[in-house]
Chain A
Amino acid sequence: MSLITKYVLISIDEDTLIAGARKVETELKRILEELDLSREIMVVETGTMGIMGKGVVILIQPDDVTYVNVTPEDVREIANEHLLKGRPVKRLEFTGKIDQSVISFRETAQELKKQTRVVLGNSGLINPESIDEYIAVNGYEALGKALTEHKPEEIIDIVKKSGLRGRGGAGFPTGLKWSFTAPLKNKPKYLVCNADEGEPGTFKDRLIMEGDPHKLLEGMAIAAYAIGAEKGFIYIRGEYTLSINRTQKAIEDARKYGLLGQDIFGSGFSFDVEIKKGAGAYVCGEETALINSLEGGRGNPRVKPPFPGVQGLWQQPTVVNNVETLSNVPAIILNGADWYKSIGTEKSSGTKVYTILGHVHNPGLIEVEMGTTLRDIIYKYAGGVKGGKFKCALVGGAAGAFLNEEMLDVRMDYDHLGEYKAVLGSGAILVMNEESCIVDMLRNILFFFKHESCGKCSPCRIGTAQLYMLADKIYSGQGTDEDLDQMLTLSEAMSTTALCALGQSPYLVIHTADKFFKDEIEEHIRRKVCMKDICRMNGAEHK
């Protein structure tokens, strides 16, 4: 019998893979073998630990030491000094304020109570490729409970009562969405998981899938049971190789264990899941465009009504839910609606997973209660603003809004942000310090919209091109006051005439940029100067 004395957890996600996590892992195993430690010290692959942009990340337990930017060359030192002699390698230790992060391992039991991990509870703790580890932390218990103790209507009731709202951006009440499809007699029905995360700066769904794919599958099975679907699809961005591989393995393992497939838990309910890779179009995150793409057609949005809940995939009733939404479901079933409702704010219950990036010390992934202020997210969890004072944050991705300093204490949830005509959106928080230029940022975002418009409807196809051209004029010192006015009126016209959210969205970034940074934009127009020296004010030709 071997006695494990230490665990070396190595984060295997898309970012660490690029940084060379596999090489570090191989080297680690080789050296442990060489030192004859491989029976005492176990190397465990996990999902993300929430630390981004810091290379290969490993965590040594029970010592609770996190190393970042680890290279294969560092491995021998870590093995000799830390694993053999018990002396942590100071130069590689992570010194960021990870203590407060909900997904850190360093929380004391008391802190853990305060901070609730619903979606990311297992991420970074268990091996995402092991179904046994997921089951060991109560995995698939919620599915068992749902199938054996509840009728589908009851599941919908619990989810309705929990106050869970769609985490894809629009915040539509999940239980209500399900309740439109559940009573329909038209079969087959489909459950589609939207994992086509395309909002710039958003990567939460990827890390959820990489870190805990079984939780998503369990959530899907419960949702499918509630609405009466026997077939589910996960539409994942094609670039998300690791998500795809891990989710695929999870599906296969779940089938082997009888947790997917025919007659699950002897309940008579059958459900299976298939992965469909997206080709990377932003618009395919829009549910009707996603459905078209899933059918093999062009990713163009459809006219609503009919809504997908009534006529979706292959004209059959279809519920489309986001990865994060579905990953909340098992915990709700297991712990009850009241428990979930106790987290977050009155109208936005539960937690929210954010990806925070830009000018912050610790970019990464965090899961906090709904209603946490932007200030807390930036300063408590992300280590504060890097390289200068806080200027603004773009919240919700390109389809989101700029929030400036005055907005730092607004509670981040659907309703409080709604009061300021801002949105929670995808959960991306892009922080900009005072050295950044709003015109440059706006032009970038408008280029993105122009590039990603599907081209189906005129207001969006031509409108996004016009908006980019106008922003580019201002960026290159050729803008006029009329150009700014036209950006405001045109984006407003697009907000009601474009067919889907893509063409309707530029309104928010343009109007919030104008609201908070009008002086800065006018400086570009009237004085032909970019005080940050970022914009090309030399009148270069715009295109």
Chain B
Amino acid sequence: MAEMVKLYIDGTEVEVPEGTTILNAAKEAGKNIPTLCYHQDLPPTAACGVCVIEYEGRPGMQRACCTPVAPGMKVITNSKTLRERRKAVIGLILSNHNVDCPSCAANEKCELQKLANDLGVDMHMYEKILDHRPEDKTSVAIVRDPDKCILCGRCVTVCDEIQTVHAIEIADRGFDAHVDTAFSAGMGVSPCVNCGQCIVYCPTGALREQSHLEAVWDAILDPEKHVVVQEAPAIRASIGEEFGMEIGSVTVGKMYSALKRIGFDAIFDTNFSADLTIMEEGTELVQRIQKGGKLPLITSCSPGWVKFMETFFPNLGENTSTAKSPQQMMGALTKTYYAEKSGIDPAKIVSVSIMPCTAKKFEAQRPEMRDSGYQDVDYVLTTREFVRMIREAGLDFKNLPEEKPYHALADYTGAATIFGATGGVMEAAVRSAYYLLTKKDMNNVDIKPVRGMEGIKEAELEIPGVGKVKVAVAHGLGNARELLTKVNKQLEETGKSEYVFIEIMACPGGCVGGGGQPYGSSIAMRARRGEGLYQEDSSLPKRCSHHNEAILNIYKEFLSEPGSKKAHKLLHTNYVERSVVSGDAVREITHKHGH
């Protein structure tokens, strides 16, 4: 137990554990010291200088975000000088920022905009000095606008310390300092895995997704095109909060309703293909266990993780499930099964997905993802783009009626919904793998040890006929790196890992914390969205993928059985090793079944 420290914030006595920063101690006194570069989820970078305070006994001003409390400290958070200094700092930042608020992707979400307004800063306080640098549009997923970057350092911290990808760094010094990739080659020519955590943590609009919004509108408004849409599990838990609903509200019916009104021709649900993924991946797991295949099996639904594996852990390619992600399974079925069944020329189908993710934009454009004979998924919209679409369409989302989707490719179970939270794929897979191995359902399908926000989670399950099975879940690529380094060590030393099955999600919190989710998604918000998904799961009549009748039906009608030749052609993929410098494919590390 940390010792408690008593101190005074503007005369108010507070008691906080030793090591607490003045910024957090002030919250105990009901004061939010203005701060810009600091984010509660990340170690402080101390870059901006907005949170300055004074305390008796040390001359000058200190940064509240990184100054620890001391016993008896008398902190002053508000004085004429402090107010002036904070304004001066924000004024300086504005003088070096492309103040482009109305047309900025982060408008109304921008922390600089809010702070400048809250503090009444004159944006013309200092003359504009901005070295115009071109936008970095080299990545298929992420766009960087250096003119809006305030060098708070959050993106670099997230990329280096949380995700351990090291795609971006601060380059050059002084006024020339800027965020850059190696050799200034651009995000598209870097180890960037497109996770988009840099976007979510960006306090301004310096980072955003490569938008497909206009293309989707054009397709919808083109009478020649048949536009279908699928929505990821996690987005139903985050759209509501953008329209004044409580964080974690699950808004499935309103979501379908909005899609219908926007004008999509057919509404599917990625939750359907999440159930399908469980059938394919679960079968793969069972086969590997029974036939002595490569273990541990590692999930493959997070495209950020897949690229991370291909770049940093290519030796685990054969351990990674060959099953495509739910988005890509749905994409492949759309232009084959659905086209056939509804008699529509697949060339006229435009397949759109709405994802909490920026890496899905990259995944959709991978050359491996064309098994229908076309690009399986044409456009990927992030949650943020979808929210904009709803606004542009003039929909009062909060008050939309609850409606149903258009098609059987939208039926799903609770197992699919929890795909959106860390541990969810593991839980869903275990529910069905247990059945596939024992031909019996679990008594209690809640597998609580794999839920929650702890970075690496483990569980041990007793499966009759198989014995004890150890599984692990990691979310956030830094945690993944830690877990897989351990796995590699075990494989190297004994040829065997203690784990049978591992779930990895690139983003902290899983898809509810994806890089396509609203700006400012904190860990706390992600946890609440995850809660929303677990609630939906427990409220659904069916909670195991193998109980999904639409799934059983599509096997009967089209795919024959999990792991069949046809399933492998459409629903499975292969991996490549990638250059740590450019992210380019270097060589194939797995081969597609039957090729």
Contacts and interface: CB of A to CB of B under 8 A. Distances in A.
Interface in A268-319: 281, 283, 298, 303, 305
Given A466-B127, A497-B85, A458 B151 contact: yes
Contacts of A461: 96, 151, 174-175, 177
A458 B175 contact: no
A497 B53 CA distance: 10
A224 to B, nearest CB: 29
A489 B89 CA distance: 12
Contacts of A458: 47-49, 89, 92-93, 96, 150-151
B373 interface: no
A441 to B, nearest CB: 20
Nearest to A486: B126
A450 B95 CA distance: 16
A459 interface: yes
Contacts of A452: 173-174
B452 interface: no
B52 interface: yes
Nearest to B93: A458
B92 A496 contact: no
Interface in A433-450: 450
Nearest to B87: A493
B129 A466 contact: yes
Interface in B37-66: 44-49, 52, 60-61, 63, 66
Given A455-B170, A496-B61, A450 B88 contact: no
A177 B49 CA distance: 27
Interface in A449-478: 450-459, 461-466, 469
Contacts of A456: 45-47, 151, 153, 170, 177
Nearest to A449: B174
A490 interface: yes
Given A458-B89, A466-B126, A469-B127, A303 B46 contact: yes
A486 B68 CA distance: 33
B180 to A, nearest CB: 12
Contacts of B60: 495-496
Nearest to A298: B170
Given A459-B89, A462-B129, A466-B127, A451 B49 contact: no
A229 interface: no
A455 B173 contact: yes
A451 B47 contact: no
Contact of B85 (A283, A462, A496): A496
Chain B interface size range? 35 or more
Interface residues of A, number: 31
A462 B61 contact: no
Given A303-B46, A305-B68, A459 B92 contact: yes
Interface in B55-114: 60-61, 63, 66-68, 81, 84-85, 88-89, 92-93, 95-96
A281 B176 CA distance: 14
B172 interface: yes
Given A458-B151, A496-B85, A497-B85, A465 B49 contact: no
Nearest to A497: B49
Contacts of B81: 496
A409 to B, nearest CB: 28
B89 A455 contact: no
B127 A454 contact: no
A466 B125 CA distance: 11
User: Which of B49, B52, B174, B176 has its CB near the most chain A CB atoms (within 10 A)?
Assistant: B174
A498 interface: yes
Interface string B151-166: 1010000000000000
Contacts of A451: 174
Nearest to B60: A496
Contacts of A303: 44, 46, 63, 66
A300 to B, nearest CB: 8
Given A497-B49, A497-B88, A465 B93 contact: no
A499 interface: yes
Contact of B52 (A283, A453, A489, A496): A496
Contact of B67 (A283, A305, A466): A305
Contact of B175 (A305, A455, A489, A499): A455
Given A496-B52, A497-B61, A490 B88 contact: yes
Interface string A492-506: 010111110000000
Contact of A450 (B47, B89, B174): B174
A464 B49 contact: no
Interface string A402-444: 0000000000000000000000000000000000000000000
Nearest to A502: B174
Interface of A: 281, 283, 298, 303, 305, 450-459, 461-466, 469, 486, 489-490, 493, 495-499
Sorted nearest first, the 9 A-B pairs with minimum C-beta distance are: A455-B177, A453-B174, A493-B88, A497-B49, A496-B61, A462-B92, A465-B175, A303-B66, A303-B46
28 contacts: A281-B173, A298-B170, A303-B44, A303-B46, A452-B173, A453-B173, A455-B151, A455-B170, A455-B176, A456-B177, A457-B47, A458-B89, A458-B92, A458-B93, A461-B96, A461-B174, A462-B92, A462-B95, A462-B175, A463-B92, A466-B129, A489-B88, A490-B88, A493-B89, A496-B81, A496-B85, A497-B61, A499-B47
Given A303-B66, A458-B150, 12 more contacts: A450-B174, A453-B175, A454-B177, A455-B151, A455-B174, A455-B177, A459-B49, A462-B126, A462-B175, A466-B92, A466-B129, A499-B47
